[in-house]
């Protein structure tokens, strides 16, 4: 049931704040705590993270958490590549699989390969009792509820957060109640700010109205904003059928900048990390007459002046979770561009909700 919403995708975008609150409650103060602690008690020498599509991009952020906070090497790879590559898998390492459905054929094959090589396997998955869930040694449920929109939205957010919870568990930060209470308020702040952000949808809709007819979009970001650039471009491609690419901001000058002209939009994702470097990349695109749509820190005059369109966000207190925030703006941007294009948003052409064949 879509309730008051025109599409399931929009409904699912709106569910995110509440899902974040209930995920935190479940893992910090509810029955999930034991399973989270159990997942954190096995510290592998390395993670092999495999997934497909949106789940893979969530996994890229999880890779950053595991390497930054746990100092455990994490090799991300698309499941469809990993399964046919003879990857080097050594006992003591662990396979980590991210999936909404738990039924994606390539991800299941990657899991089997890890099990055959005697690796312990862990999933971050939405569907309880799915094939992936049953085949893994251990699972962390993302508790996103049923996702009906073919374009994944809330699952991405819950996957990233569950990955962050895993990294907290691996560094034993969940043993004390007082720490868990502190973390709960951090996650509630995220939920609260997302509520506020969603209430500003009209601003995003207006930007979409101005840019939807442009011929192409480059989403750019650095560091933790790079996976979000990839995911933002994927969302736009799949529901609006517009050509879009996600690019590491520093890579543009190695080729694709040749494509920039006044009909190309650069969706520049600028969070608190690597700020100055990203700004200089925007200047390079501006010099080639690209249209600049920046999602960046609020009240930043220099950046606003440089941009044709600006959506400012208050990132205070949320540094490592700021990609989630930017990603929700991207979800709404893709949604409204698709709406102006008049596409079938919940059931985009050529796509199935879960890819159970190769
Ligand atoms: C994009 C999308 C797909 C899935 C991918 C993996 O919006 O939904 O890219 O993320 O097919 O599916 P799961 O997560 O079910 O393994």
For each successive 10 residues of the chain (358 residues), what is the average pLDDT?
94 98 95 94 97 98 97 98 96 97 98 98 98 98 95 97 97 91 94 96 98 97 96 97 95 91 96 81 92 94 94 89 96 98 90 82
Q: Is 55 in the pocket of ligand 1 (CB under 6 A)?
A: yes
Q: Is 139 in the pocket of ligand 1 (CB under 6 A)?
A: no
Spatial contact of 356 and 105, defined as CB atoms under 8 Å apart: yes
Residue in 265, 274, 267 with CA at minimum distance from that of residue 222: 274
Interval between CA 100 and ligand 1 midpoint (Å): 7
Q: Which pLDDT value is given to residue 350?
A: 85
Q: Best of 49, 55, 124, 150 to mutate for ligand 1, by most ligand atoms within 8 A of CB?
A: 55
Q: Which pLDDT value is given to residue 352?
A: 81
Question: Measured from the CA of 107, which atom of ligand 1 is nearest?
Answer: 16
Question: Measured from the CA of 235, which atom of ligand 1 is nearest?
Answer: 7
Q: Which pLDDT value is given to residue 241?
A: 96
Q: Which pLDDT value is given to residue 273?
A: 76
Q: Which pLDDT value is given to residue 143?
A: 98
Q: Which pLDDT value is given to residue 270?
A: 94
Spatial contact of 339 and 235, defined as CB atoms under 8 Å apart: no
Query: pTM for the complete prediction?
Result: 0.97
Q: Is 52 in the pocket of ligand 1 (CB under 6 A)?
A: yes
Interval between CA 56 and ligand 1 midpoint (Å): 8
Q: Which pLDDT value is given to residue 318?
A: 79
CA 5-203-263 angle, to 5 degrees, is 110
Question: Measured from the CA of 355, which atom of ligand 1 is nearest?
Answer: 11
Q: Is 123 in the pocket of ligand 1 (CB under 6 A)?
A: no
């Amino acid at each position: 049931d879509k309730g008051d919403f025109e599409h399931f995708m929009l409904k699912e975008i709106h569910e995110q704040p509440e899902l974040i609150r209930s995920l935190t409650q479940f893992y910090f103060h509810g029955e999930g705590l034991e399973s989270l602690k159990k997942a954190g008690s096995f510290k592998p020498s390395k993670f092999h993270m495999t997934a497909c599509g949106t789940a893979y991009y969530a996994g890229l952020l999880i890779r950053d958490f595991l390497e930054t906070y746990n100092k455990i090497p994490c090799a991300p790879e698309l499941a469809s590549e990993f399964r046919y590559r003879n990857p080097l898998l050594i006992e003591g390492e662990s396979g980590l699989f991210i999936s909404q459905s738990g039924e994606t054929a390539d991800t299941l094959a990657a899991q089997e390969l890890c099990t055959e090589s005697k690796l312990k396997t862990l999933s971050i998955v939405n569907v309880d009792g799915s094939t992936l869930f049953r085949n893994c040694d251990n699972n962390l449920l993302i508790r996103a509820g049923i996702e009906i929109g073919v374009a994944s939205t809330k699952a991405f957010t819950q996957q990233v957060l569950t990955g962050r919870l895993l990294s907290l568990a691996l560094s034993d930060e969940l043993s004390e109640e007082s720490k868990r209470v502190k973390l709960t308020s951090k996650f509630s702040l995220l939920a609260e700010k997302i509520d506020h952000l969603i209430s500003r949808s009209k601003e995003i809709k207006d930007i979409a109205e101005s840019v939807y007819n442009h011929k192409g979009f480059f989403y750019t970001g650095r560091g933790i904003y790079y996976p979000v650039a990839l995911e933002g471009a994927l969302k736009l491609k799949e529901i609006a059928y517009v050509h879009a690419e996600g690019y590491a901001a520093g890579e543009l000058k190695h080729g694709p900048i040749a494509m920039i002209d006044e009909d190309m939009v650069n969706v520049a994702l600028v969070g608190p990390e690597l700020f100055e470097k990203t700004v200089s990349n925007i200047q390079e695109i501006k010099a080639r007459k690209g249209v600049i749509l920046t999602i960046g820190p609020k009240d930043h005059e220099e950046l606003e002046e440089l941009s044709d369109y600006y959506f400012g966000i208050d990132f205070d207190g949320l540094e490592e979770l700021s990609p989630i925030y930017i990603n929700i703006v991207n979800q709404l941007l893709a949604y409204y561009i698709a709406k102006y294009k008049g596409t079938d948003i919940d059931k985009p052409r050529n796509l199935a909700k879960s890819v159970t064949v190769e």
